[in-house]
């Protein structure tokens, strides 16, 4: 009886030891899985933070070293008051009187360097200019596009939509590029003196009309001997006063 009892006790102890060993192995595997899952997001986050931190200074460096295009038109270390208008930013003086000279407070744009009369670098300065908008300037103060489609000798005289740009040394209020309606003023290279000389000397043969590009009228004058002289005299008067011009509608030189 005693031997059987000892055998049962040994079997119970062996089963308990086996259960505890299996439980320890399972708990170890679960712990390793949890640690690996937790470590993966941290490593990914660390990589993203590292990539962001290394790329951020690179973009900032590009932004800081980029030079605006207007800097090429701004003379370096010159007088601030003589800088082109594109190199400065001025506050509008709403108390100025139209047509009168007024003082405007200005500041140089970034990357622009200028000095005062004492050769000291400065950023804020004042300039004097006439109180008027850019589209109110004289025609000599801006440059406009030309049109070769409208007729300059039409009646009434035709106009065209032009885009005008203020010259670099002129200061004015408002937009420096503006639209404007202008009279047709282009030329095809025809000279009024040449047309008049041909009309007087060879007008009976239609040379003046051929020169101006009017082939039908030239052939008519050629085969009618200048309309027996009457057409020739009329053309001399019409070309002399500028009523008859080039066939393409341009102006005489």
pLDDT digits (tens, 9 = 90+) for 204-246: 999 999 999 999 999 999 999 888 889 999 999 999 988 888 8
Domain boundaries, the chain: 75-131, 142-183, 192-241
Q: Using alpha carbons only, how large is the chain's radius of gyration in Å?
A: 45
**pLDDT (mean) for 46-56:** 41
Q: 161: cis peptide before it, omega within 30°?
A: no
For residue 121, the cross-strand partners are 115
d(CA 126, CA 96): 14
pTM of the predicted structure, to 2 decimals = 0.53
Q: Can you read off the two tokens belonging to residue 12?
A: 């119970």
3-state DSSP assignment of residue 178: strand
Residue 155 has pLDDT above 90, yes or no: no
Cα three-residue angle 70-75-77, rounded to 5 degrees: 125
pLDDT digits (tens, 9 = 90+) for 104-136: 999 999 888 899 888 888 889 999 889 999 999
152 with 245: CB under 8 angstroms? yes
Instruction: Say what the alpha-carbon torsion angle 86, 91, 97, 101 is, to the nearest 10 degrees.
Output: -50
The residue ranking higher by pLDDT, 188 or 98, is: 98
């Amino acid at each position: 009886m005693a031997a059987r009892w000892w055998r049962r006790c040994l079997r119970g102890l062996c089963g308990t030891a086996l259960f505890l060993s299996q439980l320890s192995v399972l708990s170890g595997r679960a712990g390793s899985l949890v640690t690996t899952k937790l470590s993966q997001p941290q490593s990914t986050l660390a990589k993203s933070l590292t990539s962001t931190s290394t790329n951020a200074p690179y973009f900032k460096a590009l932004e800081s070293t980029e030079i605006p295009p207007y800097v090429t038109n701004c003379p370096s270390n010159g007088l601030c008051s003589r800088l082109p208008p594109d190199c400065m930013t001025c506050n509008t003086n709403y108390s100025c009187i139209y047509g009168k000279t007024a003082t405007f407070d200005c500041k140089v744009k970034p990357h622009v360097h200028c000095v005062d009369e004492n050769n000291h670098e400065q950023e804020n300065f004042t300039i004097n200019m006439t109180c008027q908008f850019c589209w109110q300037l004289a025609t000599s103060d801006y440059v406009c596009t030309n049109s070769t489609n409208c007729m300059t000798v039409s009646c009434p005289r035709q106009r065209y939509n032009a885009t005008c740009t203020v010259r670099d040394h002129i200061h004015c209020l408002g937009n420096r590029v503006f639209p404007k309606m202008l009279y047709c003023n282009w030329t095809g290279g025809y000279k009024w003196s040449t047309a008049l000389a041909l009309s007087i000397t060879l007008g009976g043969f239609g040379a003046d009309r051929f020169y101006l590009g009017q082939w039908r009228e030239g052939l008519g004058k050629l085969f009618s001997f200048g309309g027996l002289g009457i057409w020739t005299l009329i053309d001399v008067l019409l070309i002399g006063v500028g009523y008859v011009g080039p066939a393409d509608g341009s102006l005489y030189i």
